[in-house]
Structure 1
C-alpha cells in the first residue's frame, strides 16, 4: 500500500515535463522534492504547489552534470529524514551538431545527466523502496530510443535506448518488491527542449499532430507506471511510428531515419 502522502523526487523540475510531473503528483496528494539548476524557478513552482495543493515542496537545487550531485542529493534527503517513494528521472537535454563538433567535456556532461545520474539515483533510492514494499520509478526516455540513430544529437538516442533497457531490467528485479519501473517514451513535446538546443525554428516545420503537451505525456506516464508497464510510448502517432519502424527491414528503417533526421537536425 502506498503511504498516505507519498514523497516524489522530480529531477529537471524547473520546466517542461518535469514541472508537469510536479504539478500532476501534487494534485494526487504527493509531497515533493524538486531539483534542477535554476533555483528561482524551483522556488516559484514550490510556492505555487504549496498554495494550490497544500503539499510540502522541498527545493534542492543541483546540477546533475556534476558527478558528485546524486550522492550529495541523497545525503541531504537522508539528513532531512525524507524517504522517496516516487523517483522521476526527467532531467536531460540534447547536444546539437555532430559528434566531433563538440568538445569532450560537453559530451561527458550530457552523459552524466542522461545516463549516470538517473542510474545512480535509482541505485541509491531503490533499496529503501523495496524495504518499504512500495515505490515508483519513471525514467523519461524517448521515442528516439526505439528508432535508428541519426546524425546530430549523436548521443541522445543511444542514451534513451539505454534507459529503456535499464528500466526493463529493473522492472524484472523490482516488481515482486512492490516497486514499478517505467521507461516513459514521448515524442515531440511542447517544452523548452528545442529552445535550449537552438532547433526551435526547425521543429516548427513539423505538423501539429506530431506534438503532445507535457501534461498529456505526464498523464500517460503516471498511468503506465501505476499499472506496471515497463515501457510506454506516449500518443497514438508515436506508437504507430514505433510499430512501423519495427516492421521495416533494418536497412530501410535506417535510410528513412537518416533522411528524416537531415530535415530536422541543426548543421554544425
Structure 2
C-alpha cells in the first residue's frame, strides 16, 4: 500500500509543527511549507530520522497570490500527491483597523482567506478522483465569538473558513473526501508570542488553555469521522454553546468589556 502524504502550511512552528509531528507518528509522508526554510529543514530532518518517513519542504510566502499555484506545481514536479491538506498558516493584526495600511489588510486576507480557498480548490479534484482525501482548515473559536476591539479581521477570516468548510463538507459527502474546520480556543503555542500578545493572554485563567498536541489529536479524530466542524476541549465547547445563544447586543457588550479589561 502506498504511503499517504499530508501537506501542511505554516508548518515551521506552533500547531502546524504539531500537525507534522502527529502525522509522522501515524506513518504519513510530509510536505511542509512555510516562509522559514531553515526551520522547515530542521523539522523535516528530525521527523524523518525519528519515524522513517519521507519529508519534503517547500518555502513559500502565502501573501503572494501566486504562491498556492507555485506550491502545487512544485509538488507535481516532484511526483508527489496530497492525500491530506492541513491549511494552518496564520497570524493576527492586533491593533485597530485604521492602525494598518491597506496593504497589511490585503496580505492578511490573502493568507488567511484566499490562500486557504485556493489550496482547497487545487487539492479537491485529485482527491475526488481517487475517492479519498482529507482537508483540515484551522479556524478558531474567534470565528464563533462576537467581534472584538482590535484584531478586526481575525474573527471574520475564521468565520469564513468555518462556513466554507461546512459547505465543502456537504459538497463532498459520500465521496471519500472529508472537509473539517477546527476551532481551537486558547492554545499553548508560539502564535501569541509571535503576534505580540503574550502578556495579554497570560492573564487568562489556566482552565481556558489547551495544549497543541491535544488540539491536533481531537482534530484528526474529527476529520476521520467526517465531521464538518470540531471545537476541541470541553471548556471551549461550553463557551461556544453559550456564545451561540447570547443576544447579539449583549455579546458585543461583553466583548467590549473583556477587551477593556485585557488592555489594563
Instruction: Check whether TM > 0.5.
Output: yes
Deviation per CA, 1:23-72: give whole Å up to 9, x if none.
00010010010000011110000001100000000000111111110000
TM-score, scaled to structure 1: 0.96
1:89 matches 2:105 = no
Unaligned 5+ residue runs, structure 2? none
Q: Distance in 1 between matches of 2:186 and 2:85?
A: 23
SS at match of 1:176: coil
Aligned to 1:25: 23
Q: CA deviation at 1:198?
A: 1.0
SS at match of 2:182: strand
Q: Distance in 2 between matches of 1:253 and 1:54?
A: 49
TM-score, scaled to structure 2: 0.98
SS at match of 1:88: strand
Aligned to 1:234: 232
In structure 1, which of residues 98, 103, 106 is the aligned counterpart of residue 104 of structure 2? 106
Please show how residues 176-187 of structure 1 align to structure 2 within 5 Å: 176-187=174-185
Consecutive aligned runs of 4 or more in structure 1 exceeding 2 Å deviation:
261-266
Q: Distance in 2 between matches of 1:194 and 1:248?
A: 27
Q: CA deviation at 1:205?
A: 0.6
Report how many residues are paired.
264
Q: Distance in 1 between matches of 2:237 and 2:94?
A: 25
In structure 2, which of residues 209, 218, 221 is the aligned counterpart of residue 220 of structure 1? 218
Aligned to 2:125: 127
In structure 1, which of residues 39, 42, 47 is the aligned counterpart of residue 45 of structure 2? 47
Q: CA deviation at 1:261?
A: 2.5
Q: Distance in 2 between matches of 1:41 and 1:167?
A: 29
